[in-house]
Structure 1
Amino acid sequence: MESIANYLGGVPAFLSYFGIGIGLVLVFCLVYVRLTPHAEFALIKDNKPAAAIAFGGALIGFALPLHAAISHAVSLYDCVLWGAVALVVQLFAFFAVRALIPDLPGRIARDERAAGIFAAAVSITVGLLNAASMSY
C-alpha cells in the first residue's frame, strides 16, 4: 500500500509538467501560425499535404527540445524558460528555410511537397540539435 502512495505522490509534478508542456505546444502553434504567411490550418483543412508535412515537422521539431526541457528542468520556471528557447529556435529554423527557398509559403500553399518535406526535415534536425544542447 505504501508503494502506491509513493507513486501517487508524483502525480502533482506529472500534471504540472504535462500541463506546461501542453500549454507551450499551444503557444508554439499560435505563434507559429501567426508568423508564417500561409494559413496552415486552412491548407490542411483543404487537404494540402505540403502544409501538413511542414507544420507537423515544426511541431515535432519543437516537441523534441521541449522533451529535453521537461526531462532536465530543475523547476517549472526552468522548464518554461527552456521551452521558450525551443520556441524561438524553431521559429528561426522556419525563417532560415524561408531564406533558402524562394517563396516557401507560396510553394507550401500550392502544395509543392518537396518544399514542405524540406521545411519539416530542417525543423526536425534543428529540434534534435536543440534538444541535445539542452542535456546539461
Structure 2
Amino acid sequence: MDTSLAQILQSLESGLPLLVLHFGATLLLFFIGVAIYVAVTPMHERELLADGNKAAGVVLGGTVVALAIPLAATLATSSALIDIIIWGTVALVFQLLTFLVAIWLFRDLRTMIESGNVAAGTALAGLQIAVALLNAGAMAG
C-alpha cells in the first residue's frame, strides 16, 4: 500500500472517532437550543407553520441558522469536547437572549409575525443572524 494512503487511513482511524464525538456534541447542543427556543417563544411555531404563516417560517428558519453559526465556529476552533460544550452553551445563551431582547424592544413583533407580516419576520431573522455572525467571530477569537 502506498505510504501516503496508509498515513491517510491511519489519520482517519485515529481522527474519525473524535470528529464524530465533537460533531455529535455540537448537534446535541443545536437541538437543545432549538428546543429551548421553541419552548420560550411566545409564538406557537408549529401551529403557525401548519397554517402556512410565512413570517413564522422566516423567523424559525433564521433562528435555526442563527443557532448553528456560532456553534459551527466553536466546533471549528475547539479541540476539546469540554471547550465545545462550554462555549457552545454560551453561544446558545447569547442567541436566545437576542430573541428575547428583540421581542421585548419591539413589543408588537409577536403580533406582526402571528398575523403573517413577512417584513417583521425577516427583520427578526436578520437581527438573529447578524448577532450570530458577531457571536461566531467572538467565539473564533
Whether TM-score is above 0.5 comes out as: yes
Q: Is contact 1:36-1:105 (8 Å) kept?
A: no
TM (norm. structure 1) is 0.93
Letter of the structure 2 residue corresponding to residue 90 of structure 1: Q
1:131 to 115, 118, 136: 136
1:18 lines up with 2:23 in the alignment: yes
The structure number with the bigger radius of gyration is 2
Q: Report the counterpart of residue 85 of structure 2 in structure 1.
A: 80
C-alpha distance in structure 1 between counterparts of 2:93 and 2:28, whole Å: 15
C-alpha distance in structure 2 between counterparts of 1:60 and 1:69, whole Å: 15
| Structure 1: unaligned runs, 5 residues or longer | none
Q: Which runs of at least 4 in structure 1 moved beyond 4 Å after TM superposition?
A: none
TM (norm. structure 2) is 0.90
Letter of the structure 2 residue corresponding to residue 52 of structure 1: G
C-alpha displacement at 1:19, in angstroms? 0.7
Q: Report the counterpart of residue 53 of structure 2 in structure 1.
A: 48
1:111 to 102, 116, 125: 116
What value does the CA root-mean-square deviation take over the aligned residues?
1.3
Deviations 1:59-108 (A, max 9, x none): 11111110111111131111011111111111111122112322222221
Q: Is contact 2:73-2:140 (8 Å) kept?
A: yes
Paired residue total: 136
